[in-house]
Amino acid sequence: KNRIRNRREKEKKVGGTNMTAESGSSNFDLPEDVVQVLPSDPFEQLDVARKITSIALSTRVNALEFELSELRVKIAEKDSLIAELQSQAESLDASLSETADKLVRAEQDKVPTNPNRVQFNPFCFVFIYLFVYLFSVVELDTLGEFA
């Protein structure tokens, strides 16, 4: 048993650095199990280190690629939502413009019959119409969340 231990200790000497458990600080805090399976040749050790690094990098790249694909899906969903909201905004803008035109025409066509009648700003009706229209578009459940 001593011969095997002595032989292993001799094999673990690398560049003057003893890699046994007796020199705890010079084994780079590697577990004894790992130190025992390391090849004795420094170039073979470098090859093992290269392979381990390659595996670690490959694992990290795969994780980042997966995260990237998830983020791309989220971006596509957000783009779709943006397009839908822009379409709704354009529709509301067109409706508002049409209503404002109707209101201006009605204001021009009206004949004052009662001098004591209260006069409203034409845009007041536009805002009332827009308010009613928005309530018809948005569900009451959604409005309840903001209350």
Q: What is the pLDDT of residues 49-86, one digit of tens each?
A: 999 999 999 999 999 999 999 999 999 999 999 999 99
Residue 12: inside a domain? yes
Residue 36: inside a domain? yes
* Domain limits for position 13: 1-40
Residue 34: inside a domain? yes
**pLDDT over 50 (residue 20):** no
Residue 95: inside a domain? no
Q: How many domains does the chain have?
A: 1
Detail the DSSP E strand segments found in the chain.
13-14, 17-18
Counting Cβ atoms within 10 Å, is residue 21 exposed (0-12), middle (13-18) or buried (19+)? middle
**pLDDT over 80 (residue 9):** no
